[in-house]
Amino acid sequence: MASGDAKQTLFEAIALMGKAFASPRRLELLDLLAQAPRGVEELAEQSGQSVANASQHLQALHLAGMVTRTREGTRIRYAIAGEEALRIWLALRDASAAGLAEVERAAHDYLGEDVETIGREELRERLARGDVVLVDVRPAEEYAAGHIEGAKSIPIDELDQRLEELPDDREVVAYCRGPFCAYAHEAVRQLNARGRNASRLEDGWPEWRLADLSPQTP
Amino acid sequence: MASGDAKQTLFEAIALMGKAFASPRRLELLDLLAQAPRGVEELAEQSGQSVANASQHLQALHLAGMVTRTREGTRIRYAIAGEEALRIWLALRDASAAGLAEVERAAHDYLGEDVETIGREELRERLARGDVVLVDVRPAEEYAAGHIEGAKSIPIDELDQRLEELPDDREVVAYCRGPFCAYAHEAVRQLNARGRNASRLEDGWPEWRLADLSPQTP
DNA sequence: TTGTTATTCAATAGAATACTTGATAACTTG
DNA sequence: CAAGTTATCAAGTATTCTATTGAATAACAA
């Protein structure tokens, strides 16, 4: 039987990847990248940290194989590394949410009171029937980087000015970054306040995409 | 919109869970627990670390919600926390194996040359047809804690003395802890050396169990 | 009670990590 | 080529993590 040494190397390599998920700052970057690829400066700003720091975290993520980097002229574009990376990140997030009351509480504080929710499968069926208007309320760049087929982009900031763009004979479904993203909640509240029938997709774009990539995900 | 504070808390809570996967020693404990529940002392010994150290790591895993602990008289029995924990651990392990050439190399050093492999689905079909003898070559306690239905327990150490227990009109399939466990490889080599037709299941008990728990896993 | 066994706690030294600031490198554009 | 962007590197300090040691606790048996 081989030495325990090789086995040790194995665990060390996996831990290297695990370390990538051990810092809130890195997770925040990963969360942003799950929506759309970005440059270092944008990532730094949107996650509220210094550029140098963000760069270091991004390198750590890159070393762990969780993100890819491509040079685009003068900027470097980071993107999430692929299905595996996305799957781990979502699994970790969900497990944490399921396990810790603290997360629940924080989420509730952040998201506000509940609004009506619709599941992925139901949405798919109703889209096929032409039964609903689907609105992507994330920032326009994230929509541009990828979105649910058939969705219309109305960033949450512009929603109240662009209400008439939504046909009023159909129910509205809003979605955003995921279950812990406040945009869709907010959108549904605004729509309800205007007397519109609206609900939000239970999760967001990354989950939808992952489900499309590997149809067996629940 | 709520403060970024609650959002921050969210990432911190997830990172807490991520930290659980950031140390090779902890991962080794988790890997053992993925096979069967155990007491602290056994875990310490089987992973080659001091009892106090193992205890601390186990507490970290417990805090992160990855393991459960139950008192049983004078000993405390740790077990992997559930489907979620198992899924994350396997996802991480696979992603690491897929991404890093180093892991490949270490695995190859450890496992030796390739032997014939059979997939989960194929095994399931052939078991249903009564076409193969399935042998669990892990230690007896791990078999006792859970095994593939229809498998016979022959720990790898005893295999050469118990060859006649295997009917020689059927092919043998061996399985063990998972793709990086050497037992099944070794078993197939031994069987081949005796002129038996044998192959190993491509992964192991935890993967089989997870697939049963949530049938959609690939 | 007094051992015995199994586990955890507390203290500590050394290693690794996080974030800051200021300098440097790679590439574009004028 | 010089000036301007964008990203990384390097060094320093504060913090956190890891593994070790030896002592403390909890459950049980004699």
Q: For B106, which of A9, A27, A31 is closest by C-beta distance? A: A9
Q: Which bases of chain C come closer than 7 Å to a protein CB?
A: 5-10, 17-23, 26-29
Query: Predicted confidence band at A217 (pLDDT cuts at 50, 70, 90)?
Result: very low
Pairing label, strands B198-201, B117-118: parallel
Nearest CA in chain B to A29: B11
- Exposure of B169 by Cβ count < 10 A (0-12 exposed, 13-18 middle, 19+ buried)? exposed
Diameter of chain B measured on Cα atoms: 71
* Strand residue runs (E) in B161-206: 171-175, 198-201
Q: For A216, which of B8, B103, B218 is closest by C-beta distance? A: B218
Asked if A6 reaches chain B (Cβ–Cβ under 8 Å), the answer is: yes
Question: For chain B, how many residues are written?
Answer: 218
- Quick one: B197 and B158 in the same domain? yes
Contacts of B71 (CB under 8 A, 6+ apart): B77
- The alpha-carbon gap from B15 to the nearest alpha carbon of chain A, in Å, equals 5
Q: Whose C1' is closest to the CA of B24: which nucleotide?
A: D18
- Quick one: A123 and A163 in the same domain? yes
Count of domains observed in chain B: 2
Q: Single out the residue in B81, B98, B116 at which a domain terminates.
A: B81
Pairing label, strands A171-175, A38-39: unpaired
CA A73 / C1′ D1 distance in Å: 20
H helices of B47-181, where? Answer: 51-63, 83-99, 101-111, 120-128, 140-145
Position B92 in a domain: no
Position A218 in a domain: no
- Quick one: A192 and A143 in the same domain? yes
Cβ–Cβ of A94/B84 closer than 8 Å? yes
Task: Determine contact, residues B36/B43, Cβ cutoff 8 Å.
Answer: no
> What does the pLDDT read at residue B103?
65
Position A99 in a domain: no
> What does the pLDDT read at residue B2?
42
- The alpha-carbon gap from B130 to the nearest alpha carbon of chain A, in Å, equals 28
Position A91 in a domain: no
Helix (H, G, I), strand (E, B), or coil: what is residue B199? strand
Q: Which bases of chain D come closer than 7 Å to a protein CB?
A: 4-10, 17-23, 26-28
Position B87 in a domain: no
Position B91 in a domain: no
pLDDT surpassing 80 at residue A68: yes
- Residue in B176, B184, B187, B191 annotated catalytic: B176
**Of B191, B157, B159, B155, nearest in space to B173 by CA:** B191
Cβ–Cβ of A102/B21 closer than 8 Å? no
- Quick one: A207 and A110 in the same domain? yes
Which residue's alpha carbon is at the shortest distance from the C1' of C18? A53
- The alpha-carbon gap from B73 to the nearest alpha carbon of chain A, in Å, equals 27
Position A93 in a domain: no
- Quick one: B115 and B183 in the same domain? yes
Asked if B216 reaches chain A (Cβ–Cβ under 8 Å), the answer is: yes
Q: How large a percentage of chain A has pLDDT more than 90?
A: 77
- Quick one: A111 and A175 in the same domain? yes
**Preferred mutation among B1, B10, B94 to probe A, highest tally of A CBs within 10 A:** B10
- Quick one: B193 and B124 in the same domain? yes
Q: Single out the residue in B65, B81, B97 at which a domain terminates.
A: B81
- Quick one: B127 and B62 in the same domain? no
pLDDT in tens, B150-200: 999 999 999 999 999 999 889 999 999 999 899 999 999 999 999 999 999
Q: Which domain holds residue A151?
A: 106-213
- Quick one: A125 and A198 in the same domain? yes
Position B149 in a domain: yes
Contacts of B15 in chain A (CB under 8 A): 21-24, 26-27
- Quick one: B199 and B124 in the same domain? yes
pLDDT surpassing 80 at residue A112: no
pTM summary value: 0.88
Helix (H, G, I), strand (E, B), or coil: what is residue A199? strand
- Quick one: B24 and B75 in the same domain? yes
Per-residue pLDDT 10s for chain B (218 aa) are: 444 567 788 899 999 999 999 999 999 999 999 999 999 999 999 999 999 999 999 999 999 999 999 998 889 999 999 889 999 999 999 998 887 666 677 677 777 778 899 999 999 999 999 999 999 999 999 999 999 999 999 999 999 999 999 998 899 999 999 998 999 999 999 999 999 999 999 999 999 999 988 765 44
